[in-house]
Amino acid sequence: MSDERRRWLDQVWDRARAKSPERKDVFRTTSDIELGPVDAPSSPDAEYLKELGFPGEYPFTRGIQPTMYRGRHWTMRQYAGFGSAEDANARYHYLLKSGQTGLSVAFDLPTQMGRDADHPRARGEVGKVGVSISSLRDMEVLLKGIPLADVSTSMTINSTAAILLSLYAAVGEQQGVPLEKLSGTVQNDILKEYIARGTYVYPPRESLRLVTDVFAFCAKRVPRWNPISISGYHIREAGSTAAQEIAFTLGNGIAYVDAARRAGLEVDAFAGRLSFFFNVHNNFLEEIAKFRAARRLWARLMKERFGAKDPRSQMLRFHAQTAGSTLTAQQPENNVVRVALQAMAAVLGGAQSLHTNSKDEALALPSEAAAKLALRTQQIIAYETGVADVADPLGGSYTLERLTDELEARADGYLTKVDALGGMVEAIAQGYPQQEIQDAAYRAQRALETRESVVVGLNEFREEEPPPEGLLRVNERVERTQAARLAALRKERDGASVQRRLDALRVAAKDERQNLVPLILDAVKSLATLGEISDALRDVFGEHREQVVL
């Protein structure tokens, strides 16, 4: 290494260390090659560096922290939840014992749609794609033995997000953990439900009110909680391209920021706690570039469009999950390889937390062994590969930088079209993002059918194979057990007290100046059920019915 390059790199590393003085300074390879926290070109005058910048500095192309994973790895979350609260609690303790560093809760469809486990529309779905939660009693069991003061919890819930956050807060209070000490994320991203997923309850305007009520409540009462995880994951699972995933996710983010400002919140009062949730698909370099482009585009939007001054308000912090839609039921062992490569792309792209899918998820809910293997995949990447030793290790690659620039430009083009349509809510009403995603999904399916796109074991390199063994099956007794638990709850509680709180919630729902979260929290503490609280809001807000756009 030349003396000039050594001096320049010393300056770069000193700059990174000054921002994170507690972190380890130097890592070495097996050949005793020294690695500083960030690499840079040989000259301080390089135009490349002026354009690319440093990790931890606007526009955060290279990451939101100056030394990224040197002092602390990404949070390793395994998305889990099935059957009863007891079943899911046992899985959480198993994963935490195996080294998971944060909880990620999956809820069943009735819970997502605001229906109690004994509701007729819940029949056949209780506990099937997530855990069944109908009341505070269920939440107490779900979190039994888990210290909420020490564990960060992500909850994938949208229409009923305010209710699940309230249930979580109530259990925290029982553990003696004040709201100010709770940390985690509630997905609370309702717009993508209208675009790609469908678990909405109320019309968009009323749903946005609940979203911003959670923003305001968390900003005031739960400062360590992320009040939303703006999700591109489901947009990608529905068939979008990487550029569309960036554009429509950030478009939803713009709509939430606009709604919060209309509700009277200052942008720097809440934007620092916004978080995002992205898919990690198969095209390795494109996925890394996608995360870098999304970070840079969001930083510019927040600074130039919304006038955010706090650097934390300009940072795009994101959770990533490997792509469920890429898993195959054929030769499921191949999914281990897919997941490992996707997870590596998320790490090289700078994720703040990560879930790795299990090899058997194309066939059933993950078994214990498959879930542990998925977690071990993250741990091997973190501790054995060396990719976490340097911030943005691929930054400067001609191909990667070109992909980053091109993805940002294409995503920006979609956002310009969304703005021309009147914003994301109006674009959704007109079916624009839905149609773009459907067209992309059709093109991808045709590529599979014509073998222009190869999926190993699916349309090439196929084999005859017996059905796999050891798949997890949810016990059919869960539905009956949950219904019996609800019947007992309704007998033990003070029915008149519950009714008063539900009536108060209905009255408040008619007044847009009222924040509904404190009333929902009061209702769950009185043992009002999730379905009863949702029905009280249905009485005022109504239900959304999708319009067919031809």
Which residues, 6 or more positions from 416, have their beta carbon under 8 angstroms from its beta carbon?
none
Over its length of 550 residues, how does the chain's per-residue pLDDT go in tens digits? 456 555 655 666 676 666 555 555 668 888 888 887 777 665 555 565 667 888 899 999 999 998 899 878 999 988 889 999 999 999 999 999 999 988 999 999 999 999 999 999 999 999 999 999 999 999 999 999 999 999 999 999 999 999 999 999 999 999 999 999 999 999 999 999 999 989 999 999 999 999 999 999 999 999 999 999 999 999 999 999 999 999 999 999 999 999 999 999 999 999 999 999 999 999 999 999 999 999 999 999 999 999 999 999 999 999 999 999 999 999 999 999 999 999 999 999 999 999 999 999 999 989 999 999 999 999 999 999 999 999 999 998 999 999 999 999 999 999 999 999 999 999 999 999 999 999 999 999 999 999 999 999 999 999 988 878 888 888 889 999 999 999 999 999 999 999 999 999 999 999 999 999 999 999 999 999 999 999 999 999 999 987 665 5
310 contact partners, CB below 8 Å, separation of at least 6: 268, 271, 272
Helices (H), 105-179: 109-112, 136-142, 161-174
β-pairing, 27-28 with 34-35?
Answer: antiparallel
Q: What is the pTM of this model?
A: 0.91
Which tokens sit at 204? Answer: 């968009």
Residue in this structure with the two tokens 């109908």, named with its chain if needed = 134
Nearest residue to 433 (alpha-carbon basis) of 215, 208, 274, 255: 255
Name residue 322's beta-bridge partners.
280
* Count of Cβ atoms closer than 10 Å to residue 353 Cβ: 24
**CA separation for the pair 168, 217 (Å, rounded):** 14
Task: Decide which of 3.20.20.240, 3.40.1260.10, 3.40.50.150, 3.30.540.10 is the CATH code for 68-449.
Answer: 3.20.20.240
CB-based contacts of 473, cutoff 8 Å, min separation 6: 364
At 169, list the tokens: 């807060």
Question: Where do the domains of the chain lie?
Answer: 3-52, 68-449
pLDDT at position 47 is 62
The mean pLDDT value of the chain amounts to: 92
464-520 tens-digit pLDDT: 888 788 888 888 899 999 999 999 999 999 999 999 999 999 999 999 999 999 999
Beta partners for 321? Answer: 279, 355
Which pLDDT does position 37 carry in this prediction? Answer: 78
- Given a contact cutoff of 8 angstroms between Cβ atoms, the answer to whether 433 and 427 are in contact is yes
Cα distances from 170 to residues 8, 142, 151, 483, in angstroms, run 53, 13, 16, 22
- Position of tokens 């909420």? 148
Instruction: State yes or no: cis peptide before 204, omega within 30 of 0.
Output: no
Three-state SS across 279-326?
A: EECCCHHHHHHHHHHHHHHHHHHHHHHCCCCCHHHHCCCEEEEECHHH
pLDDT of residue 34: 81
Q: Are 217 and 209 in contact (CB under 8 A)?
A: no
What pLDDT sits at residue 504? 98
Residue 24: per-residue pLDDT: 56
Predicted local distance difference test score (pLDDT) of residue 465: 84
Bridge partner list, 449: none
